[in-house]
Amino acid sequence: MNLVEISERDYRKFEEGAKTGNLLQDFSRADFRKTLGFESYTLGVFDKKDLKACMLLLVKNGEGMIQLGPIMDYTDLKLLKFVLEEISEFCRNKNVFVLEIFPPMLVSIRDKDGNVLESFEKEAVKKCFADAGFKFEGETIGTVAKANRFMAVKDMSEIHDEEALSKSYNYNVRRTIKKYGDQVYVETLKDLSKLADVMQPISDSNKRNEVNDRPVSYFEDMKKYFGDELVLQVAYSKESGEAVASHVFFNHSGELVSFLAGISEKNKHLNGMTFLYDAFYKYAIEKKLDRANLYGVEGDFSEKNQLLRFKGHFGIFVEEYVGGFKKVLDEKAYSKANRKKKLMGGLRKIKRLIKK
């Protein structure tokens, strides 16, 4: 077997046809992430002429990560051992001093209340990572930008029309749609001519959460590299024509994946996200997709987890993934980078306090 950089054709064919293929390993992300300052490598493992695994490795400032990858058969521990050894060596040769891997490996499927419906063996894979020098980063609960451990997913395989979709919702969702349905409408944008309507509600949400806005170029580049995979929807007020809420998601390899959403501060009383999630699922019906992923939630199933409770009203289940594994490839460079991060973090904290 050997690990090499592979062509777009070979990569796409393998990733899109694999059971564990997913948006974070989409080939399009390789070029898109370069616009954000990353180095990207699309790699594959061949056994003679047969492609056995593929992965998108992203590197920035000497730190490497593979998000929900590699794409491979995780019951083949011999293959996994080879991949971990070879990717470590590949990273060393690229002056990567630390590597994080988040395998697309399920450990449980739960209902919206956290009750385990099905569980999967994980210890053999965790041992394989440990034997290769990777440290397990723990069964984290919070959302993680690199790769969330918990995802809110809806099975659409038996939902073929809007009547069945409505029946799958909680009463609260149906009541909201009925109450505000004559005040809100949803539009799927055909191009970027109304990009400002997408960005404004997201910007309002960013302010509430003290998160920096993404520039216009970010959305323009997404459209450039992902093309029709990228879908933009906006909920509008019928009375004023103003954007009430917006939703950015992807249609990748038979799965809808929610990416970014926002609610207008002025019009939040119209419950725009309820209409956008409903439109999200209607889009899945239209495209005949079996899976619609509202993406990351915290693995906290208590009453205080408002986001999970809201998503739970739409008839979702929760997928729990194994989590992250980290390997330090150069201790000296890793320690230096951590010291720099702590210093920069302290400076940012001081600036925030001064601003306030």
Q: What angle in degrees, to the nearest 10, is found between the helix axes of 272-286 and 171-180?
A: 100
DSSP state of 115: -
What pLDDT was estimated at residue 352?
A: 63
**Fold: same for 2-104+324-355 and 158-289:** yes
Host H or E run for residue 33: helix 28-34
pLDDT in tens, 111-159: 999 999 999 999 999 999 999 999 999 999 988 889 999 999 999 999 9
* Cα 162 from Cα 30, distance rounded (Å): 36
- Supply the pLDDT for residue 340: 86
**According to the model, what pLDDT value does residue 159 have?**
98
Please determine, for residue 15, whether its predicted confidence score (pLDDT) is greater than 70: yes
Q: Kindly tell me if the per-residue pLDDT of 350 is higher than 70.
A: no
pLDDT digits (tens, 9 = 90+) for 263-293: 999 999 999 999 999 999 999 999 999 999 9
pLDDT reported for residue 345: 74
Task: Report the largest interatomic distance among the alpha carbons of the chain, rounded to a whole angstrom.
Answer: 64
Architecture in CATH for domain 158-289: 3-Layer(aba) Sandwich (3.40)
CB of 292 closer than 8 Å to CB of 280: yes
* C-alpha to C-alpha distance for 341 and 348, rounded to whole angstroms: 10
Instruction: List the beta strands (DSSP E) in 90-143.
Output: 98-102, 106-110, 116-119, 135-136
The DSSP call for residue 36 is: T
Tokens of 213: 């806005």
Tens digits of per-residue pLDDT, 52-109? Answer: 999 999 999 999 999 999 999 999 999 999 999 999 999 999 999 999 999 999 999 9
pLDDT over 70 at 353, yes or no = no
**Tens digits of per-residue pLDDT, 162-188?**
999 999 999 999 999 999 999 999 999
Architecture of domain 2-104+324-355: 3-Layer(aba) Sandwich (3.40)
- Residue in 296, 302, 338, 337 with CA at minimum distance from that of residue 320: 296
Percent of the chain whose predicted confidence (pLDDT) is above 70 = 97
The overall average pLDDT reported for the chain is 95
In angstroms and rounded to an integer, the radius of gyration of the C-alpha atoms of the chain is 21
Q: What is the DSSP string of 207-245?
A: HHHT-PPPPHHHHHHHHHHHGGGEEEEEEEETTT--EEE
Strand partners for 296: 151
pLDDT band at 343 (very low <50, low <70, confident <90, very high): confident
**Boundaries of every domain in the chain:** 2-104+324-355, 158-289
Q: How many DSSP H helices and E strands does the chain contain?
A: 11, 16
pLDDT of residue 82: 98
